[in-house]
Structure 1
Amino acid sequence: MASGDGERAAEPWWKSAVVYQIYPRSFADSDGDGIGDLGGILARLDHLVGLGVDVVWLSPVYPSPQDDNGYDISDYRDIEPMFGTLADFDRLAAAIHERGMRLVMDLVVNHTSDEHAWFRESREGPDSVKRDWYWWRPGRPERGAVGEESAAPNNWGSFFSGSAWQYDDASEEYYLHLFSPKQADLNWENPEVRRAIHAMMRWWLDRGVDGFRMDVINLISKHPDLPDGEPAGDGLYGDGSPYYVSGPRVHEYLAEMHREVFADRPERVLTVGEMPEVTLEHARLFTDPARGEVDMVFQFEHVGLDFGRHKFDVRPLRLTALKESLGRWQTGLAEVGWNSLYWNNHDQPRVVSRFGDDGPRYRVRSATMLATVLHLHRGTPYIYQGEELGMTNAPFASVEDVRDIEALGHYRQAIRAGEDPARVLDGLRARGRDNARTPMQWDTSEHAGFTTGTPWLPVNPNHATINAAAALADPESVYHHYRRLIALRHGEPTVVHGDFTMLLADDERLYAFTRHYRDTTLLTLANFTGEQVRIPADLATEWATAPLVLGNVGTAIDPMTLRPWEARVQRKG
């Protein structure tokens, strides 16, 4: 064994892995009801094998009323019938493992559905044995009539618009919901809640699951006094985030979870914490291996750089801001912790439409440029279904085409506030989560090969040209570029282990950085514009003779310029 190979072998397996996220509702439908399912995923696993990914992450497949497309769970130990059965799940898990991949489940434990048995029992009244499993509080009649928003226990606003409190007529109290009223927040202060969650997680691990992506996991600890927040936005609601984002006991809770669920497992599992508004300082604590909390976090800073007053208020991306953000996270987690790398997921619009050029001339080139930049950073890359095809945002003609609860809530609130409906709809088109949820585009047939029925959300009309069948047949497609990027990560230790140095930090057109490990240095150089850009002379001269490892515009290199949306990786040593 060569020097250092043992060191790399001792590293957690997920550092060299690439994760592929499946949104089951939109991936593949095996029974013709228009909704994706486990059977459809099973039938398409070889697409992922050909791509070369190591991990399959499933968005929630548990029983759910589907108020928030499965992120409102009514039973943690079963499968939603529209997706299949536990037996179907077991067959899928076995097939994933037979193909040398691992399976990660979505874990949604900040809240449950209001139809979960725990909440139904909690709702029976103040004397219920599970009343304290959720955040129930009396109203404040001095602020208004009990039952109205004004008399809620505090002024917090919901992420999905409106108050974060819902009045319950039967028990004459309010319960907390940071998201939809059908997503009641669990009270993690109660040790019985934590024990029940730990037992459920062990149950899935014993069934063969290899880890969890933990939905909004840094929101589980609330300040027990639930103070009012400072007025935010239009002033109707307060910003409660100081009292629940990375709250007072969150590190304690995650360390306890690690001890009770993961620490004694013979095979190390993957734990990924989705953490809205997490700071770098907290992320270092969350991901420090010595603390035993989570392996990595999903942070949102870089996908909020083009927000104005809110996510639907679209602003142009400044490349220098993107470099400052991603570079700071690279540096901040260099010695302690680990980065998650992503452009897309089920909550984000398609990156080629957002940060690239989704027109016919440069869609492939800008999609492959963005992929190259992301995958050459230090961290574990995540690919969202269809990203490897260069899928684009959808052409939603009107608000009647929108399905997402977040987007519809924003639309109603904005119209009530007197905003221009056309401008509000433009924001939904650009940033709405439905962009990520249009069905996977497999071929040119009706409904893109996703279903033989009527899809729950219309297929993007551009599936006639953007689809998996066409991508596999074209060696220069987005798919094959992703395949080469994954192979590079698996074969070049510098991609996994190398340090990171940002170059050209003040350049608004070129993104450049190096990765260095032992005697090898990789340069990644990318043009974020649709025009030819000259490379600074000193950098061009230094790397003029370094061979090309990977590029997205043929093999010829002009050492002095980058073509529109060009990306390349060069190697020394």
Structure 2
Amino acid sequence: MSTPTNDAATNATRTNDTSDRPDGWWKSAVVYQIYPRSFSDSNGDGIGDIPGIVSRLDYLAALGVDVVWLSPVYTSPQDDNGYDISDYQNIDPTFGSLADIDALIAGLHQRGMKLVMDLVVNHTSDEHPWFVESRDPASPKRDWYWWRPARDGVEPGTPGAEPTNWGAAFSGSAWQYDEVSGEYFLHLFSPKQPDLNWENPEVREAVYAMMRWWVDRGVDGFRMDVINLISKPTELTDGEAPPGRPYASAFVVANGHRLDEFLAEMNERVGLDAQNLLTVGEMPGSSIATARAVTDPANHELNMVFTFEHVSLDQTPDGSKWDLAELPLPVLKANLAEWQDGLAEAGWNSLYWNNHDQPRAVSRFGDDSPEFRVASAKTLGTVLHLHRGTPYVYQGEEIGMTNSYFTDIAQYSDLESVNYHAEALSLGMEAEAVLQSLSVKSRDNARTPMQWDDRSHAGFSEGVPWLPANPNYVVVNAHTAVADPSSVFHHYRALIELRHGNPTVVDGRFSLLAPDHDRLWAFTRTSADETLLVLANFSAQLLDLPTDGLPDTTGAMLLLGTHGDAGPGDTLAPWESRVLRLA
């Protein structure tokens, strides 16, 4: 980790003002995630950057969001688009400079918004100075990473010599042989992303010091990448591999025995609670019980976590994300309701449909046909934002951006997608089936350029974008959406206003109704003062509301609807949703 010299405010003493971060402020907030590479390009090199983000802050202010979560912009070789960090305290020239990040923080704060940085501390880049030094077996930093010899009796560097049978999330073994030092290092993701050894207190203190540095710079919180992988087992042993597959899941190490200890220590050492910073942990493979413990305020760990259960329901139970399966609505409703109930008394939910790692929500859970794209995108927003928790909006979600449906592997950039394609073909899978899975689930679906207007490359860049813009940008773009009062954009703006102005949306008790209905999503949010009823038709057909199992809507007031001023009524149009205040 370097001490930057291009710091525009090196000689100034910074303080992070907490006066606009009262206790629990994040419960009524809405977070907007920016994937910098794909948001807005200011210099024509085809890659989004921080000045491009700064130029779009008025758009975010008009939407009404409270927080911007910025995916990584740190110095990086970009093996995994910035999630492989070689310097935590500097900005990659691809995205700008420290002066640019200061301008972003100032611009957000001036508009009443806050900045959450992505924290990637399960692993670094293999080009980080810490790892470069650790390759020397005699280095004091050797045990900053997980180095292990080959299995007994097996020649190092040969198949089967890996210390365990753990697989990497991006395919292949989770162990990489390093000829320089004669041992293997652990990488749960790419071989260029070696895992840090959190058992070493020096590693933890270096991470905490870096976090304090960013807080002093003015950031308002952290989204913590795969944070539940930081606590590894004391003894590294083989896991159970799925039938017919050589490797156990990379997430065999999830939610380790010291996770709560490490998170509580981080909270105290960085002052996360003391400064009312927003903290959200990405925690794949976590149960409700784990999430409740981590987010229980009494435990002083995190504010909320990202669950992965609901975005794993459309894959076969024993398969990977690429093994597609139908998702009946009752199954999806039940899962989200289970998390609502599970964290009702202690802890807090995060609410999301999509992000930089998930395909576009309207293509996955809605209907992206020209006829129903707008209505289904609105209804997805209605349902999500009326659950109890902090909603996250991923760039372009607010205008109903769709999957790109690439048809050739050459169109893909995502490391995970490209590796899966190669591995699947090597196992004899049909190329057509592999491409079908990629078109539905590839992370590149979320990473095509933000669609600003109908100019060349969707107004994202004056150069050639690093990833092609979705061809439907001529119709689906922010300029058109902002100008149309009936657009997805204005529906999201209204949802955000409703959350800001109605305490029941924030804190009201959640109760799922008609759980077995295969087209109706209905639930109530109840406080001491009122009951809100949410009704949503998750289909392209008219829906007659059931005569039993729903509250009486006589005299109910329509607070927000997808289809204008349509009253309570007993029929929902295709993909219509309503938020009613019951009499």
TM-score band, normalised by shorter chain: over 0.9
Q: State the TM-score, normalized to the length of structure 2.
A: 0.95
Which of 46, 57, 60 pairs up with 1:48? 60
**Could you tell me which residue of structure 1 aligns to residue 296 of structure 2?**
288
1:24 aligned onto 2:36: yes
Kept in 2, the 8 Å contact 1:229–1:240? The answer is no
Which of 538, 541, 547 pairs up with 1:537? 547
**Could you tell me which residue of structure 2 aligns to residue 301 of structure 1?**
309
**Could you tell me which residue of structure 2 aligns to residue 241 of structure 1?**
251
**Could you tell me which residue of structure 2 aligns to residue 331 of structure 1?**
341
**Could you tell me which residue of structure 1 aligns to residue 355 of structure 2?**
345
Listed as ranges, the matches of 1:62-211 within 5 Å are 62-123=74-135, 125-142=136-153, 144-211=154-221
How far apart in 1 are the matches of 2:392 and 2:121?
A: 22
3-state SS of 1:557 partner: coil
Listed as ranges, the matches of 1:115-514 within 5 Å are 115-123=127-135, 125-142=136-153, 144-239=154-249, 241-242=251-252, 244-262=253-271, 265=274, 267-308=275-316, 309-514=319-524
Structure having the larger proportion of residues in helix: 1
How far apart in 2 are the matches of 1:92 and 1:485?
A: 25
Q: Which residue type is aligned with residue 462 of structure 1?
A: N
Distance 1:301 1:263, change over 3 A: closer
3-state SS of 1:423 partner: helix
Kept in 1, the 8 Å contact 2:555–2:582? The answer is no
How far apart in 2 are the matches of 1:37 and 1:238?
A: 38
How far apart in 1 are the matches of 2:196 and 2:264?
A: 18
Structure 1 gaps of 5+ residues are 1-8
Which of 28, 43, 58 pairs up with 2:70? 58
Distance 1:264 1:273, change over 3 A: closer
**Which stretch shifts more, 542-551 or 347-356?**
542-551
**Which stretch shifts more, 308-317 or 501-510?**
308-317
Distance 1:398 1:130, change over 3 A: same
Q: Which residue type is aligned with residue 363 of structure 2?
A: S
Count of residues paired in the alignment:
561
Shift of 1:127: 1.0
Kept in 1, the 8 Å contact 2:121–2:207? The answer is yes
How far apart in 2 are the matches of 1:37 and 1:257?
A: 30
**Could you tell me which residue of structure 2 aligns to residue 4 of structure 1?**
none
Shift of 1:113: 0.3
How far apart in 1 are the matches of 2:221 and 2:250?
A: 31
Kept in 1, the 8 Å contact 2:171–2:419? The answer is yes
| RMSD over aligned Cα atoms | 1.3
How far apart in 2 are the matches of 1:270 and 1:27?
A: 23
Kept in 2, the 8 Å contact 1:272–1:298? The answer is yes
3-state SS of 1:91 partner: helix
How far apart in 2 are the matches of 1:428 and 1:457?
A: 15
**Could you tell me which residue of structure 1 aligns to residue 13 of structure 2?**
none
Shift of 1:560: 1.6
Q: State the TM-score, normalized to the length of structure 1.
A: 0.96
Shift of 1:455: 0.2
Kept in 2, the 8 Å contact 1:149–1:165? The answer is no
How far apart in 2 are the matches of 1:540 and 1:405?
A: 47
How far apart in 1 are the matches of 2:556 and 2:359?
A: 36
How far apart in 2 are the matches of 1:368 and 1:414?
A: 36
Kept in 1, the 8 Å contact 2:513–2:550? The answer is no
Deviations 1:288-335 (A, max 9, x none): 101000000001000111012211122121111111110010000001
Shift of 1:540: 6.0
Q: Percent identity?
A: 61
How far apart in 1 are the matches of 2:566 and 2:432?
A: 46
Q: Which residue type is aligned with residue 313 of structure 2?
A: L
Q: Which residue type is aligned with residue 148 of structure 2?
A: R
How far apart in 2 are the matches of 1:558 and 1:59?
A: 41
How far apart in 1 are the matches of 2:272 and 2:84?
A: 28
How far apart in 2 are the matches of 1:292 and 1:107?
A: 18
